Amino acid sequence: MTEVVHDIPALRARQDAWRQAGQRIGLVPTMGALHAGHIALVRAARAATDRVIVTVFVNPTQFGPGEDLDAYPRTLDADVALLRAEGADVVFAPTVQTMYPPGFATRVHVDGLTDVLCGAARPGHFDGVAQVVTKLLNLGAADEAFFGEKDWQQLAIIRRLAADLNFRTRIVGVPTVRAEDGLALSSRNAYLSAEERQIAPRLFRELTRVADAVARGVPAARASEAAREALLAAGFRAVDYVEVRDADDLSPVETTPAAGRPARVFGAAHLGRARLIDNVPVPAPARSGDGAGDA
């Protein structure tokens, strides 16, 4: 049975009972408007732990001025129905007041990793994410917490945060779920018109093209610039970034990544009302003699 819980004492009571029974707890933090990407997180949690808590909270502190906080889809009843079907044990859906009561004054900032990519385009966004995830990890007291690789930078920041602050919870990344045409599933895909939905998979295709080019030895800056131009030509309204970076510390990668240092291509671009993000791995470098082609 899936229970919906709105307050912290009720959440803690469930967890205390599970702990006393020796059960392991999995936590899946979400902002709701659930899709197959979230369901993959819930299934990973169910496979790895005995009890699963899914949090549904549209966290206002991670939205900047002029962003889509008010428009962000809120579909709690449908989310709960999906989570029931998936066998989640508890849906924790707090109010803003519960999470940030009057007098709340604590900020959480992770240096470095938060300044680049989406951090540069959305100042303060990752401080809000770090703040709410710190709270959810404390409230959830979970053994494992599950986050999607679509938000790779967020995942890298949360791993850093959990290591630096000695959280007991193991942070688990779950591969991105894609539509058949390659578009990464995202709650914000709901903003796309039918025509924009046709264009949207170009982001994944261009990032994949950059990854393959860089693996062949094409300089990252050249391959990324070609992708930016292709996205704008395809109908994207603006491109925040296409960049190749180290998968762990997010430092820039200029040419073929060093052996043993996985790299990824990251992209964020605006299509109509939607800001889409995605990332793909750079394949292991081609053997010498394969030659460098064009981006």
Which residues of the chain form contacts with ligand PAF (CB under 6 A)?
Answer: 29-31, 59, 62, 129, 132-133, 151, 154
**Closer by beta carbon to ligand PAF, 150 or else 216:** 150
CB of 290 to ligand PAF, least distance (A): 38
Residue 38 falls in the annotated catalytic set: yes
**What's the closest the beta carbon of residue 148 comes to ligand PAF, in angstroms?**
7
CB 281 within 8 A of CB 149: no
Which C-beta is closer to ligand PAF: that of 212 or that of 240?
240
Q: What values do phi and psi take at 20, rounded to 5?
A: -60, -30
Cβ proximity to ligand PAF: between 15 and 62 the closer is 62
Distance in Å, CB of 99 to ligand PAF, minimum = 10
Choose, from 6, 35, 38, 109, the residue flagged as catalytic: 38
CB of 125 to ligand PAF, least distance (A): 9
Q: Which is nearer to ligand PAF, 213 or 268 (CB)?
A: 268
Rounded to a whole number of angstroms, the minimum distance from the CB of residue 133 to ligand PAF is: 6
Query: Which is nearer to ligand PAF, 129 or 244 (by Cβ)?
Result: 129
| Residues designated as active site | 38
